Amino acid sequence: MARHTKILLGLIFGAIAGVVCNKFLHGTAFLGAVQKYLSDPLGKIFLNMLIMMVIPLVFASLALGVAQMGDLKRLGRVGVRTFAYFLLVTTLAALIGLTLVNTIRPGDYLPAETKTQLLDAYSDQAAELRNTAQKTEFGIQTLVNVVPRNPFSSVARPSPDMLALIFVTLVVGIALTQIDKERAQPLIRVLEGINDVTVAIINLAMKLAPYGVAALIFSVTSRFGFELLVALSMYVITVLVGLTLHQFGTFPLLIRIFARYHPGKFFRKVQTVMLTAFSTSSSSATLPTTITVSQENLGIPPNITGFVLPLGATMNMNGTALFEGVTVLFLAQVFGVDLTLGQQVIVVLMSVITAVGAAGVPSGAIPLMILVLGMINVPMEGIAIILGVDRILDMCRTVLNVTGDITCAAYIARSEGVTLKL
Residues 6+ apart with CB under 8 A from 124: none
pTM score, whole prediction? 0.82
Average pLDDT over residues 283-306: 89
Least reliable range by pLDDT among 73-82, 83-92, 350-359: 350-359
Average pLDDT over residues 284-297: 89
Q: Please give the backbone phi and psi of residue 179, each rounded to the nearest 5 degrees, phi first.
A: -100, 170
**Taking 60 as the threshold, does the pLDDT of residue 363 lie above it?**
no
- 308 found inside a domain: yes
DSSP reduced 3-state for 325: helix
- 130 found inside a domain: yes
**Burial of residue 152, with CB atoms counted within 10 A of its CB: 0-12 exposed, 13-18 middle, 19 or more buried:** exposed
Helices (DSSP H) in 316-365: which residue ranges? 318-334, 341-357
Which of 36, 297, 71, 89 has the alpha carbon at shortest distance from 174?
Answer: 71
Whole-number CA gyration radius for the chain:
21
- 46 found inside a domain: yes
Which of 234, 230, 270 has the alpha carbon at shortest distance from 103?
Answer: 234
State the Cα angle at 324 between 368 and 84, rounded to 5°.
Answer: 90
- 420 found inside a domain: no
- 421 found inside a domain: no
- 88 found inside a domain: yes
Give the model's pLDDT for residue 376: 81
DSSP string, 272-313: HHHHHHHHH--HHHHHHHHHHHHHHHH---HHHHHHHHHHHH
> 231 vs 151, which has greater pLDDT?
151
User: pLDDT tens digit string along 322-341?
Assistant: 998 899 899 888 888 888 88
First to last CA, the chain: 22
Task: Count up the domains in the chain and report the number.
Answer: 1
Give the model's pLDDT for residue 270: 93
Helix, strand, coil % (nearest 5) of the chain?
Answer: 85, 0, 15
CATH number at residue 402: 1.10.3860.10
- 422 found inside a domain: no
- 167 found inside a domain: yes
Cβ neighbour number for residue 21 with a 10 Å cutoff: 21
Range of the domain at 340: 3-415
Report the percent of the chain where pLDDT is more than 70: 91
